[in-house]
A and B are shown apart, each in its own frame.
Chain A
Amino acid sequence: MMKLEVTSHDTVSIVTAPGPRIDAAAAIRFKEAMRAATSDGPDHVVLDLSQVRFVDSSGLGAIVAAMKQMGAGRRLDLAGLAPDVAKVFRLTRMDTVFVIHEDAEASLRRAAG
């Protein structure tokens, strides 16, 4: 079972994905780990991808699935996208679906208003 590190702040929790890849070999485990990591806690979750250098279309699908399984009224943002990861989100236009922060700290500053 993949274990994701979760740090909860007041209104936001940061879930850190282990690297270096979220790919076909890891997609199902990642989705299950995200379900466990986000089953409770704040409505607003930021997935910190700063340790991930590569996401393929299966990994992208797992991230989308992770957002869907959080349910209505909750929000999954992304942070710390490496260049090759950002490229996949850009080409598939999934960068228009998620709010993408430069890094986890930036997402906390924004959440604090």
Chain B
Amino acid sequence: MAKAFHRRIAADGMAVRALLDEMRDWLSQVGLDDASCGKIEIALAEALNNVVEHAYAGTPGAIRMEMTHTEGDLQVTLRDKGAALPRLRPPAGHPPALHDERDALPEGGFGWFLIRNLTRGLHYAHDAGENRLTLVFDLEHRTDPAP
């Protein structure tokens, strides 16, 4: 039986934090272990920050989250009415190279890499002025040993 978590927030950093806290509590209540909650929270923090910083570029707007949990599978769709992704697709997410030289170390550019690394699948559409990004997560069954 599917369980759902739906929320609508303002696109700002503090609202994102509150949403992540609430979402994490819900995931824990539906029975996910800490490692699964952690990977979902990391990926969603990155996706939500992208909406705040890039889709809305810091201007006011709303973000809708629809999360559905079924046995072994979790899907989250984020919707916003901000700018579309360049080329209408999520970036490949190659992680920035780490250099030996301290001064050359990257301070950003890890967001899409983390999202892709932590999800089984990613779907994006821009339709009628709305961005729709769906993240699909694999869930380990509770009987599996922790990695």
Residues of chain A having any CB pair with chain B under 8 Å: 21, 23-26, 54, 56-58, 60-62, 64-65, 67-68, 72, 83-84, 87-88, 91-94, 96-97
Query: In the complex, which range does the number of interface residues on chain B fall in?
Result: 20 to 34
Contacts of B109 in A (CB 8 A): 57
Give complex CA distance A96, B95 in Å: 14
Contact of A68 among B53, B105, B108, B113 (CB under 8 A): B105
Q: Are A56 and B17 in contact (CB under 8 A)?
A: no
Residues of chain B having any CB pair with chain A under 8 Å: 12-14, 16-17, 20, 34-35, 38-39, 41-42, 45-46, 49, 52-53, 95, 98, 102-103, 105-111, 113-114, 117-118
Q: Are B114 and A92 in contact (CB under 8 A)?
A: yes
Q: Which residue of A lies closest to B105 (CB)?
A: A64
Contact of A97 among B17, B41, B98 (CB under 8 A): B98
Contact of A84 among B16, B17, B41, B103 (CB under 8 A): B41
Q: Are A57 and B111 in contact (CB under 8 A)?
A: yes
* A56-B49, A87-B42 known; A68-B103 Cβ under 8 A: yes
* A57-B114, A64-B105, A65-B107 known; A93-B49 Cβ under 8 A: no
Contacts of B95 in A (CB 8 A): 92-93
Q: Are A88 and B42 in contact (CB under 8 A)?
A: yes
Interface of B is mostly: helix
* A88-B114, A92-B113, A92-B114 known; A54-B53 Cβ under 8 A: no
Give complex CA distance A87, B105 in Å: 19
Query: Shortest distance in angstroms between B1's beta carbon and chain A's nearest beta carbon?
Result: 28
Q: Are A25 and B102 in contact (CB under 8 A)?
A: no
Give complex CA distance A61, B113 in Å: 14
Contact of A92 among B41, B49, B110 (CB under 8 A): B110
